[in-house]
Chain A
């Protein structure tokens, strides 16, 4: 690794992202320190998911610079929409995991295989070793007894916990959560949040979390960023943002979600 302790693990510098003529991120700057837990809040359509999706290389961006652990997303002579080779993107992705709003477990695989498949195929771990680790991870999310079930046999909350175990099995340094509890029935939100809360204590893991669970955000984040129209309108410690927001837009937003 080329990163030094002082260097941010994620660094967006003047990034511009457009969908056709719609500019979603305009001259966007954003840094995250190693191990930092950052929550992105803001109205729907303000570009929060786009930030995560760009990091996960699910979306290319047009201008500016993005680096992960000192590794630039664009290669000097990179071609295609990502301006980088598949091999380069593969290397970047090896440091990042993502948990999606809709879980996206593989429906044709058991819970255990969902967690084991990528470590075996992508990292080349021996199956036995991968299974041992998978069972540990499933125990951590409280689902060791469900390992032979198929996703369709699980509740949404259980599926999301499997999805978290699946992402962790790849040993990411950065974990992205895009509204992990938004698709869940209210009574299932708690079990997923408590798993994420557990991860927030992991010192080395950098976390980027998009959520509408404001109380939770306040509790687990080192920093909260309020997004509005593709910009970070205000950011700071949770107590500052939730307790004494400076910007009018932040106050309006918090009022609308907390009332």
Chain B
């Protein structure tokens, strides 16, 4: 049978990949902000907690994290379906890297800005949310763009816990048709198309964040 008959199956896989990637990025960004902010402003205890989180998820392989969540969590009575597990693990992974991005960008806001805020008597939270974060977010955008693409690519690992994503579907179709070249070529194009779409979305968000003329375009972006 010709591989083209399986295109709907590949399409379904692509939809699963996109769903998992987008959800993981959304939750990952939330985690990144929570833990990144805690790293900088959390005080002695919470900043250590945040540090543990980032180091654990950056320091171990996503592959192992996936299996660990998939097989170990049910043992303590927490069981999720594979898709939820995949999203949670990818989100936690992206959150670990994202928290570092947030921390780095927050600490790159100049001391002079902090002093100006202090001279105007803003308190710590006001300084964080009204002065540092809005400036830091602009700095974060390129790195979050990379993280988004990275998350898309890593999402193929969820096929290992039997989620029928794009990679999983491609493998299944190949096993039936034995036509590796065609099927993987199409898969490659699919991933590339999705990454292009994500990049466009990131660019649009970046432009919104830059808000017109507020920031002269930095040399590195």
Contacts and interface: CB of A to CB of B under 8 A. Distances in A.
A108 B116 CA distance: 14
Interface stretch (B73-81, B92-100, B190-198, B207-215): B207-215
Contact of A118 (B112, B122, B216): B122
A19 interface: no
A106 B135 CA distance: 9
Interface in B17-75: none
A152 B121 contact: no
Interface in A64-105: 86, 90, 93-94, 96-98, 100, 102, 104-105
Interface residues of B, number: 22
A107 interface: yes
B126 to A, nearest CB: 5
- The SS class assigned to the A binding surface is loop
Contacts of A90: 121, 123
Given A108-B135, A117-B130, A150 B119 contact: no
Interface of B: 112-113, 115-116, 118-123, 126, 130-131, 134-135, 138, 211-216
Given A94-B121, A122-B122, A152-B214, 16 more contacts: A56-B115, A56-B119, A57-B118, A90-B123, A93-B118, A97-B119, A104-B116, A105-B116, A106-B131, A107-B214, A108-B134, A108-B214, A109-B214, A122-B121, A167-B120, A170-B120
Interface of A: 56-58, 86, 90, 93-94, 96-98, 100, 102, 104-109, 117-118, 121-122, 149-150, 152-153, 166-167, 170
18 contacts: A58-B115, A90-B123, A93-B121, A94-B121, A97-B120, A100-B115, A104-B116, A107-B135, A108-B134, A108-B135, A108-B138, A108-B214, A117-B120, A121-B126, A122-B122, A152-B216, A167-B119, A170-B121
